[in-house]
Every structure is written in structure tokens, then in C-alpha cells.
Structure 1
Amino acid sequence: MKAIIDRYRDSIIQIATPYSTGTGFLLPDRQLVVTNNHIVQDNREVVVRGDRLPKQLATVVYADPRYDLAFLRMQGPFEADTATVTLGDDEALSEGDVVVSIGHPFGLEFSITQGVISNTSREVDRIRYLQHDAALNPGNSGGPLINRDGEVIGVNTLGMEQGDNIGFSLPVRYLKRALADYQSAKPGVKVRCEACDNVVAEQEVENEQYCPHCGAKVYLPSLAEAYEPVGVAESIEELLVEIGQDVRLSRRGPNNWEIIEGSARINITYHEDTGLIMGDAYLCALPQTDIKPIYEFLLRENFETENLSFSIKEQDVVLSLLIFDRYLNLSTGMKLFRHLFERADYYDNVLVEKYGARWRQEE
């Protein structure tokens, strides 16, 4: 099983939009990323990132609200040696078969859960699902369900609220059908009509919103309205632009942004209920031995450093900035966040080179 999991490490993709986050997986031979439609709906493009794939924008080229599937196409081709993903046969499954789910729950990168098939044909809204007990949490959606032979036999779709590890995955037969329909339809961005089940391309859609076969309304990804932040979120994005960041690549769900500055990863979150804006720069990891000097250094810096504070989260050193929204303006925000970005990269180097901390990339 370990060899199978290692093979998929390059193929599992993190997906982020201004509204949600989730998982997808590469189909290198088709130059597509598969995910759930509910993750990417209302977006023309989304942010994707993989183990060997730098953060970039990908276009939503297919929306399938009936089966909750979507296909993404990235700007450049996949690496030539990206492992091929094999689509298996879900009809050969039996209750009790071992399966593995891979995804990014709660933003945790490349998390794996194992379970068994509980029911091979659980019907929900006239669609048959694979029911299993491999834990599915927010962020897992869109990832693959894999059998013992390393074949994708389902697409993780939903977990049951308050259920004890009860998950549902769309059988791979539906994905195979969607891929065939997508391939045979006319060029361009495409959508499956929920009323008549036909896949239609944007050039066929009448008046940009009606299916040419049955006249029902369809929603093309290419016609989704561009995201426009409002209120404090707009102010945060404005100051990020002013200090040279690409906010489209930074968005990670509602009121959440991620910035990579040098070797530091910086998460910015806005909590509307408290009015608190938090900038948390995740630096290096604590050394395994001789920890006292690094603690002493962090305590001294907390006393001497204005507006910033150090903390330890598990093994990670975190440098944080706190601002209440009522005190935020462009001039002050730019100064504070630029200071956080600069000091994060600086302290990361100091802690590794002088105090023996470990680079996060090595973890």
C-alpha cells in the first residue's frame, strides 16, 4: 500500500477559491484535473498546487452539477514523468473491500485515511454512491478513493454530518462517462445539462444560458462573475496588491489568504465576528536537541519586537501580527504587513543558521 500512496503523491492537487478549498487529482494523459463541482462552482478559474506543481491558476473547463464533477485545465502541461492515474472498475467491488482516501482535509496536506466498503450501491438523489468508513472531512472532497491495486474506483464527494466515519464517493463509472461525454462534445468550456443530461459547449448554449436540446437553464463556468471582495476583505486585498502580491493566487477560502515570502508561509485570516485580522507566518521547526537557546531568543524578541509576537505551534515557530479591523487603513496596513513579510523571512534564516532550527521543507 505504501508504494501506491507514494505513486499518488505527485497527482494529488490542492484547490482553493475565494469561497472554499478542496482536493483534486491529475489525469496526465488527458491534461486535466478532476474534482467536485461544488468546490469550484461560480468560478472561472481557481488556484491549484501540488507536491511538484507550483501554485498557479487553472481554468474550469467542465461543470457537471448532476454528478458533482468538474474538470480543470492548467496553463502549462504536466511534467512528463507524472505518474499515470489508473481508473479502475467499481462494479468489481464488494462490501468489506479495503479502500484508501487521499486528500487535504482542513488544509492539511496529503492526508490518508483507510477504511472498508460498507455498501457498493447506496442511492442518494437517484445516483448510486460507494459508502465506506474511510474518514472524509472538509477539504477531502474531490480526491480519489483508491483500491488495493492502486486504481481510482471513486471520487470522494461527501461525508455525513455527525456520522461516525460515514463517507460517500461517486463511483468511477460516472467519471468515465463524464470524460467520454466531455471528449465527444464540441470544443470549449462545457457543462452537463441537469434536465436532459447532455453535455454542451459554450458555443452551443443559446443566449449564453439555455441548453440547445431542451431549453433548460445551464450555468457555464466561463460566464461566472469575477470575484469582488467587499468590506474589510477588499481592504486587505488592496494592501496586498500594493505590496506586490498576486491576490488571485493568495485566496484560500472566505477571508483567508496565503502568501509565500522566501522560506516562510504566511496565512492571513479575517474573523468577522471579532473584527480581528491575523497574520501568522509559519517559520522553521524547532531543533530536536539544545532547544533552550532558541526559546531564550524568542522570548527576548517578543519583548523587543514591536507589533509582532512569536509562539510555538506543535513544532513550528510562528510569527504573528494582530490588527483590529477598525484600525486598518491602507497606509498602516501596508507598513505592518510589509514588516511581517520581511521579518518572517529574516527570522527563518536566523533560527536555522544560528540556532539549529529545521527548515519546514524538510519535514
Structure 2
Amino acid sequence: MDNAKVAGQRVLLRADLNVPMQNGKVSDATRLERLVPTIKELAEKGAKVIVLSHFDRPKGKVVPEMSLKPIAEALGRVLDKPVAFAEDCIGPVAEAAVAKLKNGDVLVLENTRFHAGEEKNDAAFSEALAKLGDIYVNDAFSAAHRAHASTEGVARHLPAFAGRLMQAELHALEAALGNPQRPVAAIVAGSKVSTKLDLLNNLVAKVDILVIGGAMANTFLAAQGHDVGKSLQEKDLHGTALEIMKIAAAKGCEIFLPKDVVVAQNFAANAPTQVVSIDAIPADMMALDVGPATVEAFIERLPHIKTIIWNGPLGAFETKPFDHGTNTLAAAIAQATKEGKVISVGGGGDTVSALKLAGVHHDLTYLSSAGGAFLEWMEGKILPGVEALSKGFSNLG
């Protein structure tokens, strides 16, 4: 946005207003708060700010419960200034609302997904959106992995720029994976290896240490011949796990697996637990968290690591006491970050939730709220919304 001359211009701002709602009210305003710097800068520079966003999955139909109106009201409270609302995002209703704007005003248009052309990236729908603006700014990295009309199509018709949140996300991810300070460690966890195959295959070629946790680790341990009892695992992916380890060895990437685990007979809050080595998991028990020796072993490595990328909690963090491994490691990484000893970047829905519960979400270098886009970036995939900004469409103006 440094190069965008926005005074007096109609700026179409693609934001992500797809926020959690309960009883018709915003229950977590984090995404709205992260938009404040871009919106305030544009407004203070005299732009007419026109906010585009999707919400939920109305599948091309008008669903009143999925209107952006209550979110526009919440955005106004976060910005501490009036925010107008239009009950459509294209056509006469939207055009009339835009025409009323004065320099510095903010307007939210109705859910783009009320039109089938949004998810189809329909050319006519993209043109109808573009008609409302003079400049396009994309500040929705979290939707950048989708080639939709409001994330990619509009950028073909207007001078296009990255907003401050998009800029911050890209800068953080470049620091983590593009041109990082080494050694780099990636923490990848979750319930299934199958959902993160692309991620694992990309990371083994880019990081120095790959920490595998969560139920994913059970599949790797079982593939190595460890008896994991009743633990969740994917037996049909043992060969894949061994192949990933083979590729990692060839690339000089160390695979870091649990040394011990917290086991229980039942997955329930405050269930009786034991800490056992990975060679002593009882047949009638399941691993639900990494053990203290595993966490301590990684913490001992921290002084020698310069960059950490985190995607996925180490255990079933939503249920105590299976949050202990994640919380202990999170506190250590947060402390190292605050002391300037490591660059730490986390992302993904469960990761954000786990780090919030651990009370350290403000202490990492950067915590991405992008979810799917963060994961696809880590997988090495091209994000259409980012590519649209970097292809030179901005030279149209």
C-alpha cells in the first residue's frame, strides 16, 4: 500500500469478516481487530473504504442468518467510527451506497457468497465488483488460497495492492520458510498423517528439524515397530511414514519423534494417566499427549534453533491433562522469542486455539489466523490471491 494513492479514491478492500458468531453476535473479534491498521490508514488518507467479504457457506443463495450486517456493526465498534452497510455487494443497491460515501468513510457490502459467481470466479461478477472501486486492496490472506471473484478476479480489473495484514503475513512466512535464519525447526502435529502429507513432504526439504506430534506421531512410531496400543493411528500409512523418514534423512532433515507419551484407557477429562516410554505403551491404553522427557529434549535444543514454525498441538489439548505437553513447550518457545533468541511463527485453527489456552498467543513473533491459507503456503502451493497481486495486475493503473 506504500505506493497506492488513495485520497478521494474508492478502495475495494477484500477483508476476512468470516468470524465466529454466537446468538447473532461476534464471539471472537480477533480478525476484525487485525483489519484495523489497514482500514484506519486508508480512511485517514482520504479513501472511500468499501469492504468485501464472504461469510460461511450460503452456496450462492441469500441466507439471512449469514448476513454481514451484524459483523459490520461489530467492525464499527472495533474501529470506533460509523460503518455503513449495503444489502448487496453488486448492482444498484451497492452502487447507491458507494455513491453516498465521502472521503474517509467505511462501507461493508453484503456477503459475496450470496452470489454464485463469487466461488466460481465468474468474470461478469468480478467486473460487477470492480465497477464499484478505483483501487483494489487485498487484506485477506486467510482467503488467499481460493481463486474466487473477490480474492482473485477483481485484481484483474483494478490496480491491486496488499493490505497491511496481508503484508505482515507474507513477511512472517518469508522469514519462516522463504529465507529463514537457520537452523529451522518445524513442529507439525494433528490427528492424521493423511491430511498433512503435502506439508510433510515440503518441509523435509526446507527445515533442519521436523518435530512430529499428536496422533500423527503414533503412525510414525508404529511404522518403526513400536506397539502403540489403542492409540489413534493410520495403519495403511506406515509405508508412507517410513518413506518420509527416508527422504528426510537424504535431505539432512532430522525427524524428532516422542520419546515418551502420556497414556490413558479412556479419552476423558481428568482421566487417570501414566507416563510411559514409547517402548512400553500398554495394549489397552492410548497415547494422548507427549511426555515430559520429549518436551524437555526439545527445550534443550532451543538454544541452537533460530526459527520455529508451529502447526498443530502436541496432544489432545482441549481436554486436561492432555494439554500439558503443548503448554510447556509453548511457554518455553514464547520465552525464547521474548528474549530475542528465536523467530517463532505459528498458524492453523487448532494451533491458534492451543496457544491462546496456553496464554502465549501474543508472545510469538507472529501468529497467523489464516488456517487453510497458512497450511497451503507451508505446503509450498501457489495461493491465487497472492499471485494475483504479484503478477503485475497492479500496473493496470
Taking structure 2 as the reference length, the TM-score comes to: 0.27
RCO higher in structure (CA 8 A, sep ≥6)? 2
Q: Which has the higher strand share?
A: 1
Taking structure 1 as the reference length, the TM-score comes to: 0.28
Q: Which has the higher helix share?
A: 2
